[in-house]
Amino acid sequence: MKAYELASGVLRALSEAKEARGMISVVNAHVSGISYMNLGDYGLEFLEDLAATGERVRVPTSSNPCGMDRELWREQGISEDFAAKQARVNAALEKMGIAPTYSCTFPYEGQWSSKLKPGDHVAWAESSAVVYGNSVLGLRSNREGGPSALFSGITGLTPNYGMHLDENRKPTVLIKVEQPIPRGPLEWGLLGKKIAELGEKAKVPYIYGLGRIATKGELKALSAALATFGPTDMFLAPYISPEASKEPPKLEEVTIDGRELEEQSREALDKAVSGETPKAFFLGCPQYGVEELVYIARLLSDVKKVKGDIFIYTSRHAISDQAGFQAVNSLREKGVKVFRDTCPVFSPAPSFSGGVMTDSVKSSFYMPQSKSIRPTLEPTVVSFMLASGELEGKRLTTYIGKAVVAGTASGEAIVSYKPLSFLGGINPSTGIVIDEESELKGESVKGKVLVYPTGKGSTVGSYIIYGMKKMGTSPAAIIMREADTVTIIGCVLAGIPLVHRVHPDPLEIKAGSMVRITDGAIEVHDR
């Protein structure tokens, strides 16, 4: 078997079937389907035969997760036989010059991504990466099969059809997301699932109403869900997609109420709080990047040892970053099992008789079909609070919001149901509320978690907040329904954690409750 001839023949057949406009060169390729759990002996033999020809890839080619952490596979519970065969798969790939990245996020998070530019043609076989690349980076890739991406790596070519062509990248339906804007990977994943279930009309959805700022974790979750539940290979969203117009196109409209996504998230949260503690947590599908690792490490900053089995899947490029490395070390010290090179979907997992949680809409679909477990969609914050045992014997309520100023803080809640002004409303020297119309008059905000709907009054309030921090009279943190500019600037300058757009309503927090904030996650322990 001559590998180049085989690869060329298969790609020509694909080109003819799709009536492609010839072949085009690709900047790089990314192969998938390389876990021995999927390949089996026949797939392993195929790759070894291909590698034995001596053929090597002609363009940079990366690899998707394999079936195990290459160093910690024993800690994963992987058998000797499986490990030996997975090692043979990896050796065959590397013999062909494929980079041992073993990551589903490497194409857009790894070191090669900095060289990519909008309009570049690539051949990627990881479905979530295809959606992310087309949508967020403006790249051009079809949803390749594992072998076709491999053959594109060998030839440096791919058939010119589908998402490589301008006419197939135009929006097909207008999705209007009504306020509130989804927040967190879970809600963005649920949004992606709703859109994908529209079917062919959502081939290229134009999503309006997401705002100007989204985290990488949210975009990864949206991309993964769109690819998992439907035919979507690309979405367009203003301020997120380089190819999206700022104004929505005139197309068939589908409205999605942001409150429904909140309610689904909240129902999962309530179920977690009231139900039996899960036996295991699988997090990292797509694999966690630096942003997510740091978030989880902060969330567990006050926990000495976690309770139960927590599995986090990440990549070597994430851990090579200093912040990612420090986060992983911190998590492992607390008993969290962090693995690289693999993922919860395509690696053998230990059996669990109880409930299993995941924060991934994607893995909730694939895992029940490959393992005897039943994942439940849960926000990451709830998963870890349960795992750390912090709910035992306490009434705890969890709120989720947007961290305007990230950080951790804790203290007693002080709640105002009316807007507050720091100038004329609070004595900066003492932290005591002096506003005659405030129900908090005479009470001190010093060292407490201040909860109020929004700000009012003078723009000088930003300096007052900053000065109070310097004097040691400021709140430990602030929670608001909607943060005003004055409070935002003051908190940014002072480094005071600030969270707004909180669900459920933060004014439901009872005065005197103990509150802990970790970025956008809020825990309230009623006394």
pLDDT of residue 271: 54
| Extents of the domains making up the chain | 3-159, 170-262, 276-387, 396-525
Average pLDDT over residues 427-440: 92
Of the given ranges (31-35, 79-83, 520-524), which has the lowest mean pLDDT? 520-524
Q: What does the pLDDT read at residue 386?
A: 42
Instruction: State the architecture of 3-159 in CATH terms.
Output: 2-Layer Sandwich (3.30)
Q: Look at residue 186 and tell me whether its pLDDT is greater than 90.
A: no
Q: How many CB atoms lie within 10 A of CB 336?
A: 23
Burial per residue of 73-103, b for 16 or more beta-carbon CB atoms within 10 angstroms, e otherwise: beebebeeebbebbebbbebbebbbbbebbb
Give CA–CA dist 500/488, Å, rounded. 10
Res 278: pLDDT: 61
Instruction: Identify the pLDDT of residue 214.
Output: 84
Q: Lowest mean pLDDT of 307-311, 359-363, 375-379, 462-466, name the range.
A: 375-379
Is the model's pLDDT at 282 over the cut of 50?
yes
Q: Above 90 in pLDDT, residue 49?
A: yes
Choice between 351 and 302, residue whose per-residue pLDDT is larger: 302
What pLDDT does 185 receive?
A: 81
Q: Is the pTM of this model over 0.85?
A: no
Query: Could you please report the per-residue DSSP string of 16-71?
Result: HHTT-SSEEE-S-EEE----HHHHHHHHHHHHHHHHHTT---SS-EEE---SS-TT
* pLDDT (0 to 100) of residue 527: 61
Question: What's phi and psi for 202, nearest 5 deg?
Answer: -100, 30
For residues 461 and 464, what is the distance between their CA atoms, to the nearest angstrom?
5
Say what the pLDDT of residue 390 is: 44
DSSP 164: G
Average pLDDT score over residue span 204-221: 89
Q: pLDDT tens digits, residue range 336-387?
A: 999 999 998 888 866 665 567 777 888 877 776 555 555 665 544 444 444 4
On the question of pLDDT at 159 being above 60, the answer is: yes
- Cα 117 to the chain's mean position, in Å? 23
Checking if the pLDDT of 269 tops 70, the result is no
Average pLDDT, the chain: 88
CATH topology (fold) of 396-525 = Glucose Oxidase; domain 1 (3.50.30)
CA 121 from centroid of its chain's CA atoms: 25
List, for residues 399-424, the tens digit of each pLDDT value.
888 888 988 898 999 999 999 999 88
Q: Where is average pLDDT lowest: 70-79, 141-150, 453-462, 473-482?
A: 453-462
Does 276-387 match 396-525 in CATH topology?
no
Report percent pLDDT > 90 for the chain: 61
Predicted pLDDT of residue 391? 39
Name which of 267-276, 319-328, 410-419 the model is least confident about. 267-276
Pairing of strands 375-377, 477-480: unpaired
Q: What is the pLDDT of residue 371?
A: 59
If one counts every other C-beta atom within 10 angstroms of the C-beta of residue 366, the result is: 17
Q: What is the pLDDT of residue 399?
A: 84
Most confident of 85-99, 261-275, 504-518: 85-99
276-387 folds as Aconitase; domain 3 (3.30.499)
Mean pLDDT of 495-510: 90
Lowest mean pLDDT among 65-74, 151-160, 387-396: 387-396
Contact 441, 433 (CB under 8 A): yes
Quick one: pLDDT band at residue 268, thresholds 50, 70, 90?
Answer: low
Which one, of 456, 428, 458, 425, lies nearest residue 439 by Cα? Answer: 425
CB 208 within 8 A of CB 176: yes
Q: In what order do the strands lie in the sheet with 29-31?
A: 61-63, 29-31, 123-124
Mean pLDDT across 465-489:
92
What number of other Cβ atoms are within 10 A of residue 59's Cβ?
A: 18
